[in-house]
A = this chain, B = another copy of it.
Amino acid sequence: MRNRNTAPRKPRTPAQGAGSPQRPRHREGGGYARGEHTRRRLLDAGIELFAELGYERASTRAIARRAGVSLPALQYYFGGKEGLHRACAEYITEDVRARLGPAAERVRMALGRDDLTRAELLDLLRAVVEPFLEGLAMERPESWALFFARAQGEQNAAFDAIFQQIGGRLLTLVAEIIGRILARPAASPEVAIRAVIIVGQLTLVRRARPLILRALGWPDFDGERLQTLKEVIWRAIASSLR
């Protein structure tokens, strides 16, 4: 009935600085076991629901409920909804990066030789592209890939972080291999465009997932069908590089 404050307040913005409020105020050295547990539960529930419903539809209440914790716990650990979302993105990014890193490093080493045949270069491309396709889009819980797709579609701040960590490295690596195959400088527009196209094709598997499934009349990507999909995509990529 009565307003305590006549000035128009903005309670939607977090009280803490806009920097990174996701860490609670507890001491650095601290870290109770129970706290870390609910923190993890919130991350899992957040990834699931953000992926399932998108950022807006996933309410903090629903996330807290699925995590089995109370609503203020979300504020306490992540500073707010946006903080949780960013934390989810970082959580996923770190895992994918760890998964993609070794393969990328091996490929980068192999690229040191300058007498690689076309077949060898194609193998290298596959070596860097396949873990990406499997890791990001398939192996991990579907919610992870969906989270990524949502972040990209919604143009969240989370997308920038994810892209710079993963997409950027992948793109430069792919461009380098393609440049070799096409015998053009990796920095040339043609090579860069084709690198983007190829990487884009992979993400398409997730982004246009409902479209693909419906076009094929498939209920889902499972087992053999997934194998077929990967094989066809790869053949298309390989045959396009001449």
Are B56 and A155 in contact, CB atoms less than 8 angstroms apart? no
**Given A153-B150, A232-B193, CB of A208 within 8 Å of CB of B200:** yes
Which of B57, B190, B211, B237 makes the CB contact (< 8 A) with A152? B211
| A161 at interface, CB cutoff 8 A | no
- Bound CA span A125–B183, Å: 28
| A216 at interface, CB cutoff 8 A | yes
User: CB-nearest residue of chain B relative to A242?
Assistant: B239
Are A210 and B152 in contact, CB atoms less than 8 angstroms apart? yes
Copies of this protein chain in the complex: 2
- Bound CA span A88–B14, Å: 35
Interface size for A (C-beta < 8 A) is 46
Q: Which residues of B contact A127 (CB under 8 A)?
A: none
| A180 at interface, CB cutoff 8 A | no
Which of B154, B189, B233 makes the CB contact (< 8 A) with A197? B233
Are A233 and B193 in contact, CB atoms less than 8 angstroms apart? yes
| A104 at interface, CB cutoff 8 A | no
Q: Which residues of B contact A196 (CB under 8 A)?
A: 204, 208, 211-212, 215-216
